[in-house]
A = this chain, B = another copy of it.
Amino acid sequence: MATMKDIADRLGISLSTVSKGLNGGQDISDSLRQTILDTAVEMGYQNRKAKRQDRRRIAVFIENMDYEDADDFGYEIVLGFRKASFRENWGVSVIPLTRDLQRRQSYDAYMLQEQYSGAFFMGISPEDPWSAQMEETRIPTVLLDNSAAPNPQVCTLATDSDAGIEMAVSHLAALGHEKIAFLDGSAGSMVSDKRMLAYLNAMAAHKLAIDPQLAVYGYFVAEAAPYHVPGFLSAGVTAILCGNDLIASGVIECCKKEGFAVPEDISVIGFDDVPMAERLDPPLTTVRQHRNALGQMAYYALYALINQVPVSSTCLRPDLVLRATTAIAKPRVALRRNDDKDSVAYVNPDLYLKTLRQRNLW
């Protein structure tokens, strides 16, 4: 492992200048500090001070996710992370992941400069400058709902979408529903894709027909509902599964507006169980992500990585929370004939998803 002396030799500067550069000393230019940090990262230097028990620090980066209010999706995750890490005397900094921050410095240089031992990312998009750096980073890093870079320092964490959607479809099938629509979140999001595939798999497993017009991507907002729900209703669905609770809230509103009662006419199921889910009218039946547990597990996985355990993925089990938006299926007649030749049962969902994508149906 490289020492400060190695860095000084490489750059032809004094040891004390290197020390100033690495430890936040004042009497040094910004550009020289950056050169020292970049060289340190390149040479694999690790700051030993960062390992001292009384200075152990980890970072939580948050992007596109609210977490400051108890109703926010990220709130309980941060709380769970703090709870688990607190017991072992880690200092935790919560940092908004801005493009500006990422453009200013490489991920490893930033982490070295700030003397963090590792990080948990709640959201990072593939377009982010630091996203590509996940393949090479030497910093122990846990990513929420992201695909894993082939790097022993990086672990992905997620709630098991397959299990969650399967529980939801199984519950609806047991209530006699056969025509179940799925209004997913944004196309191209890893979470949306996983849930779409899970829906197709679950429908196939329960021998229910898959209709491409009833399995659509929207956006992770309530406002997506009006674009799709009227079509679902006229196609004769009796249940609508949603990519998250926000979408479900819009779906319920939309059903009411169209003159359909929830759950008497149409059953609705959400995903996440954010706090507002139980305050909806009627209270939402939904797949619960254990957000506090996700935060705790993020810490355990990060702790494993910091201890050189090359954990690559870890998954949490969701629950189906039964409230008041599902009921026994009420037989309905489709208002329009379904002329789609592609409505087929028992397909291979994986291939089917690919085919649909290629044909740009979504």
Contact = CB atoms under 8 A, between A and B. Distances in A.
Interface of A: 84, 150, 152, 160, 163, 290, 293, 296-297, 300-301, 303-304, 307-317, 319, 348, 350-351
Given A297-B304, A300-B304, A303-B300, A290 B310 contact: yes
A315 B351 CA distance: 26
B316 A314 contact: no
Contacts of A316: 309-312
B296 A304 contact: yes
B307 A317 contact: no
Contact of A297 (B311, B317, B351): B311
Contacts of A348: 348, 351
Nearest to A314: B314
A319 B348 CA distance: 33
A84 B300 CA distance: 12
Contacts of A297: 304, 309, 311
Given A163-B150, A307-B296, A315 B312 contact: yes
6 contacts: A84-B307, A163-B312, A293-B309, A293-B311, A296-B307, A309-B316
A160 to B, nearest CB: 6
Contacts of A300: 300-301, 303-304, 309
